[in-house]
Amino acid sequence: MKMKPAPDEAPGPGLLIWYGNIHRRRDLWWRGSALMGPGLLWLLVFLALPTCGLVILSLAQRGDFGEIHWVWTLNNYQRLLGFGLFGWTPDHIFILGRSLVVGLVTTLICVLLAYPLTFYIATRPPKMRTALLLLLIVPFWTNVVVRTYAWMLLLSPQLPPAKIAAWLGAIPSGSPLFPGSLATYLGLVSTFLPFLALPLYSSVERLNWELLEAARDLYASRWQVFTQAILPQTRPGLTVGVIVTFIPAMAMFVVTDLLGGAKYMLIGNLIQNQFGQSRDWPFGAALCLALMALTMIGLRLYRRWGRS
Amino acid sequence: MTGQIELGLLVAQVQKSFGSHKALKGVDLEVREGEFFTLLGPSGCGKTTLLRIIAGLELPDSGHVFLGGQDITRLPASKRQVNTVFQSYALFPHLNIFENVAFGLKARQIGPAEVRRRVADKLEMLSLDDLGKRYPHQLSGGQKQRVALARALVNEPEVLLLDEPMSALDAHLRAQVQEELRRLQRELKQTFILVTHDQDEAMVVSDRIAVMRDGLIEQVGEAREVYSRPRNQFVAEFLGAANIIQARRDGGQMVTSLGAFDLTAAPAWETGHLAIRPESIQLGEPPADDRNWVRAQVCEAIYRGQSLDVWLSPGFGQDNCRVRVRTNAKNHLRPGDQVSIFFPPEDLVALDHQSDAR
């Protein structure tokens, strides 16, 4: 039997089949716009417009009382590069560089911890897997500030960690284990480990173990098994994990402020200062854009590595 | 003989359990150097576990594996001169075909010129020359299978293990690949061990076959031997169709419900079963001495192209259609036809029911 399409459904230039349904091209366009609209609007209002605002703001000038003078100047960027009233200083560049290093080191430590962790979880029986994943997510239920204060308590002079460190002669007895590098990285890594471990876990869970066996069968060393069989398979999860760890880790200011002390002035702290105590919004905006640029460059480099 | 075994593979009393499930219950096996050996059995019989133990991907609970006279039971997979073609091929998706094949050579730090030469050689041998730059996802199933084969063979392993490598191919391609594999093994004179549940495949490729059931080996022998002289009912029925006939020994003769049969070799038991292949039973006119001849009536005749399968009822009733005969497709038989069938004494096999009952 021959099926004759009804006249108004006749296949024509205005019609198309999408997932088995026939649509009018124009209706589909409207439907797509309606679905994407709210998200786009959100991004426009809360991301695109504020960013434009930052750009404009960064070209303005702080007045003597913290008010904004709308004069077009590159002063803020010159200051950022170290050219100030009293000649050139590398302070801001140091802070940017330090932020970069702290972000990278935190991400690296998280990666090194997340691989064994996710492999351990993925190889447990299903019930235990769910429980362990839950444990990994639990820290999200408390605020970062609260968790950071918990670290301060834990590292206080009366408790074993500080006592052992004092006994080893690493710190004078009676003093806490913070502020300092150890405390900063403890805080940062414990904050960001779930960010890296969860996306990585989604890749590890779907791992094709036969490829690991094939690599072993073909005389690969443990390192070659990792680089040739594990890394390529887990790269999607690792990429997401690295991005969602590196970007916020670089801009972190709560943890570094509380656990790092003066030595750990990072770009995040600096920006916070400009919008807070210093009331220098234009310079803060310039710093924000510098951080954004740095992040973009980092991602670009990572993408290049990811492709090779 | 002894020399051959010393160079080949020896599996001694290998046991392996997964939880409460005993996958292997003390397997003994000898694979001679340069032979095409097949582990044949239904799924869950332990054949893949045995293969993985030989590959070094699984550790036996007890027992030993010797290769070339050396105990390799506790040698890691990466140190064994044994390579595997995996069931799903397990090609590295991020490496192209050349790099996949070169993997084992590069891992052993063989020089780039040598790697290029040997990989090119194997790619050519398996007609993959043009595909070196492609990636696994761009290949067909048959091509992937050949890449997996090349990747293993390029290492010149002492034993090549094949874990159901043909199960993902369609029937037509499978038959072609089986013959290719057979030819390849003849050319290379390397030891191949194949795992399969397909008895046709086993017979096409193998020098010798080990039939496995429930973690033990039931019978080892050449295809002809295992097929025509099955040790027990399991082997008889797993390797194709078989007529199983209950029998009682009475002097030199076997008394059955079909009549009395002569055998070339009388069994040790008093009562048991006889087996005969459908194609061994002959149709014809009984001679004056009609020993081993039976009168029967056709219940059903199924035309299969290369043969005619006939279900027969012995005697004259139509209610007992239990004898299966495979005869020349040129014969024309219709239900109700009266025929005489001959059970050649040399093709009647007395089965060992003790080994079935374990």
Report the chain A residue with the minimal C-alpha distance to residue B101.
Answer: A218
What's the whole-number mean pLDDT along residues A114-132?
92
Assess B268–A contact: CB distance below 8 Å, yes or no: no
Q: How confident is the model at residue A92 (pLDDT cuts 50, 70, 90)?
A: confident
Tell me the domains of chain A and their CATH numbers.
Answer: 83-303 (1.10.3720.10)
For residue B25, give the nearest of B229, B212, B196, B160 by alpha carbon: B212
Question: Is B83:B161 a contact under the CB 8 Å cutoff?
Answer: yes
Q: For position B3, what pLDDT does the model report?
A: 45
Q: Å from A214 to nearest chain B CA?
A: 6
- Mutation test of the interface with chain B: which of A207, A210, A213, A217, choosing the one with the most B Cβ atoms within 10 A? A217
Instruction: Classify burial at B186, counting beta carbons within 10 Å of its beta carbon; exposed 0-12, middle 13-18, buried 19 or more.
Output: exposed
Count the Cβ atoms, other than its own, within 10 Å of residue A70: 10
Q: DSSP letters along B290-328, please? A: -TTEEEEEEEEEEE-SS-EEEEEEESS-SS---EEEEE-
Q: Å from B95 to nearest chain A CA?
A: 9
pLDDT at A73 over 90: no
Rounded Cα distance between B302 and B324, Å, is: 11
ipTM of the complex: 0.84
Assess B59–A contact: CB distance below 8 Å, yes or no: no
Q: For position B5, what pLDDT does the model report?
A: 47
Give the least confident one: A27-31, A63-67, B233-237. Answer: A63-67
- Mutation test of the interface with chain A: which of B88, B103, B108, choosing the one with the most A Cβ atoms within 10 A? B103
Rounded Cα distance between A235 and B85, Å, is: 26
pLDDT at A7 over 60: no
Contact criterion met (CB < 8 Å) for A219 and B104 = yes
Asked whether this chain's domains B2-235 and B239-357 adopt the same fold, the reply is no
Q: Which amino acid would we find at residue B281?
A: I
- What is the DSSP pairing of strand A61-62 with strand A68-69? antiparallel
Q: Find out if CATH 3.90.1150.10 is the number for domain B2-235.
A: no
- In chain B, where the domains are located: 2-235, 239-357
Query: Cα dist. B165→A211, B124, B199, B322 in Å?
Result: 15, 20, 14, 36
What's the whole-number mean pLDDT along residues A88-105?
84
Question: Is B131:B96 a contact under the CB 8 Å cutoff?
Answer: no
pLDDT at A12 over 70: no
Q: For position A266, what pLDDT does the model report?
A: 81
Q: How confident is the model at residue A66 (pLDDT cuts 50, 70, 90)?
A: confident
State pLDDT tens for residues B9-52. Answer: 999 999 999 989 999 999 999 999 999 999 999 998 999 999 99
Q: Which residue has the higher pLDDT, A8 or B212?
A: B212
Rounded percentage of chain B residues whose pLDDT exceeds 90:
62
Q: For position A157, what pLDDT does the model report?
A: 78
Contact criterion met (CB < 8 Å) for A218 and B151 = yes
Rounded Cα distance between B154 and B298, Å, is: 56
Mean pLDDT of chain B: 90
pLDDT at A4 over 70: no
Question: Is B339:B300 a contact under the CB 8 Å cutoff?
Answer: no
* A221 DSSP assignment: -
| Helix (H), strand (E) at residue A15 | strand A15-18
Cis peptide bond N-terminal to A179, omega within 30: yes
Give the least confident one: A140-144, B25-29, B50-54, B141-145. Answer: A140-144
- What is the DSSP pairing of strand B271-276 with strand B243-250? antiparallel
Residue whose structure tokens are 């024309």? B332
Assess B104–A contact: CB distance below 8 Å, yes or no: yes
Q: How confident is the model at residue A306 (pLDDT cuts 50, 70, 90)?
A: low
Strand ranges (E), chain B: 9-18, 21-31, 36-40, 62-67, 70-71, 82-85, 159-163, 191-196, 208-213, 216-221, 243-250, 253-256, 259-262, 271-276, 282-284, 293-303, 308-314, 323-327, 338-342, 349-350
Q: For position B73, what pLDDT does the model report?
A: 92
For residue B208, give the nearest of B216, B217, B74 by alpha carbon: B217
Residue B273 — left, alpha, or beta (φ > 0 → left; ψ -120 to 50 → alpha)?
beta
Mean pLDDT of chain A: 84
Alpha carbons within 13 A on the beta-carbon side of B323:
30
Contacts of residue B145 in chain A, CB cutoff 8 Å? Answer: none
Superfamily the domain B239-357 falls into? Nucleic acid-binding proteins (2.40.50.140)
Q: For position A269, what pLDDT does the model report?
A: 84
Q: How confident is the model at residue A3 (pLDDT cuts 50, 70, 90)?
A: low
Contact criterion met (CB < 8 Å) for B78 and A219 = yes
Q: Which residue has the higher pLDDT, B358 or A278?
A: A278
Q: Å from B107 to nearest chain A CA?
A: 5
Assess A224–B contact: CB distance below 8 Å, yes or no: yes
Q: How confident is the model at residue B2 (pLDDT cuts 50, 70, 90)?
A: very low
Q: In the structure encoding, which two tokens stand for residue B223, read together? A: 């295809």
Rounded percentage of chain B residues whose pLDDT exceeds 70:
97
State pLDDT tens for residues B82-116. Answer: 999 999 999 999 999 999 999 999 999 999 999 99
Q: How confident is the model at residue B1 (pLDDT cuts 50, 70, 90)?
A: very low
Contact criterion met (CB < 8 Å) for A213 and B92 = no
Q: In the structure encoding, which two tokens stand for residue A23, read together? A: 């649509």
